[in-house]
Structure 1
Amino acid sequence: MAFSVPTQCKSNNQAEVMAALYAIEWCNRAGYDKYDLELDSMVVTNMLEEKDTNNLKLKNIIKRTVNAKEEAEVSISHCYREANQVADFLAKLASSSRNGTFYFSYQQLPKEAKGLFQLDRWQLPCIRRRYDKCNFFC
């Protein structure tokens, strides 16, 4: 299952925690009692593993996420950005859309996400390309 849901967040960590909470609550409601959750934010992964944070803005949502996590056997792990390109693409899609979308099969994924998914499935690296900004004043 994958999702792309727009939300209002003040930081990338808040967005990551809200996505984790959303995913955990969805899995719990769907009746899953054992599953893995991969996050590409080491900071948020540590907050959820330690079950607390010093960040007062995130304290309540971390507590809600930890409580939801305890309803099932959830394994939370960190994965590097290169291994999380599909989630990164869906997050960018949500930021430019007003509607939330759920994907329950490979066929439902957007074309760009399918390619990234296949690279991950084949365990091939996904190389990020950065373009230098054009400087007309050289």
Structure 2
Amino acid sequence: MQAELRALLWGVRHCVIRGYLELHLEADSLTLVQIVQGTSACPWRLQRDMDELMIFKQSFQSITHCYREANTPADHLANFGADACAGHVFNTFSDLPQLVRGAIRLDRLGLPTFRTRCLA
């Protein structure tokens, strides 16, 4: 959950720097959504990051939960970030990895995404 919170904080901070001030946040961690909404207590180890996120509270209108399967582009980007040696900012759609662009296009068309798992 700490990684999710830090990613959320980084994204909000980056959007505010670029002038985006009416954000809608989505996260696939229901617990994190409830903490940000104030309906669940924040674990002490997350409090510092949560306090910093709340500095930007006026910049996001809402935060909602979405299932991981509904967030395929973000999941692909998280995997890309985990595999990369350094941080990367994508400034245009064409800069995104091909797999991410494809997932976004499928999402725009309203097509469902299915997670597959290899069984050994």
1:93 match: 80
1:105 pairs, out of 72, 79, 92, with 92
Shift of 1:84: 0.5
Please report the RMSD computed on the Cα atoms of aligned residues, expressed in angstroms.
Answer: 1.6
Query: Match of 1:78?
Result: 65
TM (normalized to structure 2)?
0.90
Native 8 Å contact 2:25 2:60 kept in 1? no
- Residue 67 of structure 1 corresponds to 55
Partner Cα distance (2:94, 2:64) in 1:
26
TM-fit CA distance, 1:34: 0.9
TM-score normalised to structure 1 length: 0.80
What runs of 5+ residues in structure 2 fail to find an aligned partner?
none
3-state secondary structure, aligned to 2:113: coil
1:122 equivalenced with 2:109 (yes/no): yes
Larger Rg: 1
- For structure 1, list consecutive stretches of 5 or more residues without a partner in the other structure: 1-12, 134-138
Superposed displacement of residue 120, structure 1: 1.0
- Residue type of the partner of 2:76? F
Higher relative contact order (CA 8 A, sep 6+): 1
User: Residues 35 and 73 of structure 1 are in contact (CA less than 8 Å); yes or no, is this contact kept in structure 2?
Assistant: yes
Does the 8 A contact of 1:51 with 1:66 survive in 2? no
Structure 1 runs (4+) greater than 6 angstroms displaced: none
3-state SS of 2:63 partner: strand
CA 1:51/1:31 → structure 2, altered by over 3 Å: closer, same or farther? farther
1:52 to partner: Cα distance: 6.5
Aligned residues: 120
SS of the residue 2:89 aligns to: strand
Identity of aligned residues (%): 32
Deviation (angstroms), 1:104 = 2.5
